[in-house]
């Protein structure tokens, strides 16, 4: 059998065991995806953490964020490890724990420069597909999972919530992490991020035609998790 057939078979096997979750910041997708993965015994892949880690590496190495070629070279060699430690995701960049550093506002602001480069995304997508293929099952969350990373995933969800509610959730999350940001600033940041995620040319945040839309504004995490598990088992 030729290698293209093998690749097609591998893709099919993988897409059967993938749950794709996309949505804007604060839609609840990280918490929901993590909990889903825990209950199903699946791998949890926070793809936003990968773009954040690469941004941190670029900044740490004084790489010009306008230099697509240099950023692509970094993306080819970067070592990003995602591991659950109890309830928390540990993100390692070249062997160093950067779980807190990648959530700093300075990184949040700059991820867009890295995420908009097609060749950088190609490398990240390759890594995401490999992680899922090596797992027994995976929940991937991000902006382009159902549209680009796994367009043939069996289960696709698009989580959303009203902007005010999303800002409140982020505020609570960041306050718990010891970061002090006003709700007003966060609302502005969320609106700007939505705009840049949705309007970029490559892999913009958009709902895949076959993704199930879940408005989480008035739902608890538990309700969303149960809803998704229910829908996945039908």
Residue found by looking up tokens 């997508």 in the block: 125
Tell me whether residue 28 or residue 142 sits nearer to ligand DC (CB atom): 142
List alpha helices for the chain, DSSP H. Answer: 3-16, 29-40, 47-60, 68-77, 105-115, 118-133, 163-176, 183-199, 221-232
Residue 83's DSSP bridge partners are 90
SS3 196: helix
Q: In the complex, what is the shortest distance from the CB of residue 3 to ligand DC, in angstroms, rounded to a whole number?
A: 27
| Cα–Cα distance, 12 to 204 (Å, whole number) | 24
Q: In the complex, what is the shortest distance from the CB of residue 52 to ligand DC, in angstroms, rounded to a whole number?
A: 6
Tell me whether residue 149 or residue 228 sits nearer to ligand DC (CB atom): 149
Query: Burial of 30 by CB count in 10 Å (0-12 exposed, 13-18 middle, 19+ buried)?
Result: buried
| Cα–Cα distance, 186 to 170 (Å, whole number) | 7
Tell me whether residue 111 or residue 228 sits nearer to ligand DC (CB atom): 111
List residues near ligand DC by CB under 6 A.
25, 47-48, 51-52, 111, 115, 142-144, 193, 197
Q: In the complex, what is the shortest distance from the CB of residue 104 to ligand DC, in angstroms, rounded to a whole number?
A: 12
- b/e string for 1-21 if b means 16 or more Cβ within 10 A? eeeeeeeeeeeeebbebbbbb
Q: In the complex, what is the shortest distance from the CB of residue 227 to ligand DC, in angstroms, rounded to a whole number?
A: 21
| Cα–Cα distance, 174 to 199 (Å, whole number) | 26
Q: In the complex, what is the shortest distance from the CB of residue 231 to ligand DC, in angstroms, rounded to a whole number?
A: 21
Q: In the complex, what is the shortest distance from the CB of residue 84 to ligand DC, in angstroms, rounded to a whole number?
A: 16
Tell me whether residue 17 or residue 193 sits nearer to ligand DC (CB atom): 193
Tell me whether residue 35 or residue 144 sits nearer to ligand DC (CB atom): 144
């Amino acid at each position: 059998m030729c290698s293209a057939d093998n690749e097609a078979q591998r893709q099919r096997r993988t897409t059967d065991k993938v749950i794709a979750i996309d949505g804007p910041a604060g839609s609840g997708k990280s918490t929901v995806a993590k909990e889903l993965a825990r209950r199903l015994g699946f791998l949890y892949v926070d793809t936003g953490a990968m773009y954040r880690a690469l941004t941190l590496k670029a900044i740490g190495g004084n790489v010009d964020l306008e230099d697509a070629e240099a950023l692509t070279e970094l993306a080819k060699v970067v070592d990003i490890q995602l591991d659950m430690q109890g309830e928390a995701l540990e993100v390692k960049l070249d062997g160093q724990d950067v779980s807190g550093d990648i959530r700093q506002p300075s990184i949040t602001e700059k991820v867009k420069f890295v995420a908009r480069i097609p060749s950088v995304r190609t490398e990240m997508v390759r890594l995401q597909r490999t992680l899922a293929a090596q797992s027994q099952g995976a929940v991937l969350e991000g902006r382009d999972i159902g549209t680009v990373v796994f367009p043939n995933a069996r289960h696709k969800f698009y989580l959303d919530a009203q902007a005010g509610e999303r800002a409140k959730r982020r505020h609570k999350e960041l306050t718990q992490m010891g970061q002090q940001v006003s709700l007003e600033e966060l609302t502005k940041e969320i609106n700007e991020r939505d705009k840049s995620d949705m309007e970029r040319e490559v892999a913009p945040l958009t709902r895949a035609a076959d993704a199930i839309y879940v408005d989480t504004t008035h739902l608890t995490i538990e309700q969303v998790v149960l809803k998704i598990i229910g829908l996945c088992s039908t």
